[in-house]
């Protein structure tokens, strides 16, 4: 039996509606994409959905109590809760520079968590 999955491509602002037809968990047809990037998006969304992620971690001695952080690559969607839990346990010490690695190879994914901004120390 053919199963249909409806997606909206988020690769560009056009937001094409894409239909993925699947049989036995395999993609057999992709419809509605205007370009090749949409096809790649749909394949990735079905096989290995990922999201960019931004959050904060606690920072000691900083001019603010938390430091905004992000990931260096889109993160596996089914592990975002684990990532949030990991970041709740993370604390750094100011000063920090934008792009500094806060957690290397987080959860063994090969993806780093980095600082999204500079954070000065209260005593610098
Ligand atoms: S399919 Fe192509 S044109 Fe359509 S939203 Fe995706 S990237 Fe943009």
The pLDDT of residue 101 is: 98
* Region 8-20 average pLDDT: 97
The pLDDT of residue 33 is: 97
* Best probe residue, ligand 1, of 32, 37, 40 (max atoms within 8 Å of C-beta): 37
Ligand 1 atom at shortest distance from the alpha carbon of 35:
2
Q: Does 45 have pLDDT greater than 60?
A: yes
The pLDDT of residue 51 is: 94
DSSP states of 42-90: HHHHHHS-EE--EEEEEEETBSSSEEEEEESS-EEGGGHHHHHHHHHT-
Quote the distance between the C-alpha of residue 69 and its chain's center: 11
Q: Are 9 and 42 in contact (CB under 8 A)?
A: yes
Distance 109 CA to ligand 1 centre (A): 28
Q: What tens digit of pLDDT does each residue of 53-88 get? A: 999 999 999 999 999 999 999 999 999 999 999 999
The pLDDT of residue 124 is: 55
Q: Give me the chain's average pLDDT, please.
A: 96
For the chain, which domains are there? 3-47 (2.20.25), 54-115 (3.10.530.10)
* Region 104-109 average pLDDT: 98
* Best probe residue, ligand 1, of 7, 17, 34 (max atoms within 8 Å of C-beta): 34
| Residues above pLDDT 90, as percent of the chain | 97
Q: Does 123 have pLDDT greater than 80?
A: no
The binding-site residues of ligand 1, defined as CB within 6 angstroms of any ligand atom, are: 9, 11-12, 14-16, 33-35, 37-38, 41
The pLDDT of residue 68 is: 98
* Best probe residue, ligand 1, of 20, 41, 44 (max atoms within 8 Å of C-beta): 41
Q: Are 100 and 113 in contact (CB under 8 A)?
A: no
């Amino acid at each position: 039996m053919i199963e249909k999955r409806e997606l909206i491509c988020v690769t560009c602002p056009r937001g094409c509606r894409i239909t993925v037809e699947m049989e036995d968990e395999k993609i057999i047809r992709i419809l509605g994409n205007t370009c090749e990037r949409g096809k790649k998006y749909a394949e990735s969304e079905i096989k290995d959905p990922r999201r960019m992620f931004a959050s904060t971690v606690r920072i000691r001695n900083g001019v603010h109590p938390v430091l905004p952080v992000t990931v260096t690559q889109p993160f596996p969607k089914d592990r975002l809760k684990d990532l949030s839990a990991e970041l709740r346990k993370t604390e750094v010490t100011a000063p920090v520079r934008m792009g500094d690695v806060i957690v290397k190879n987080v959860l063994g994914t090969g993806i780093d968590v980095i600082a999204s901004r500079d954070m000065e120390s209260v005593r610098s």
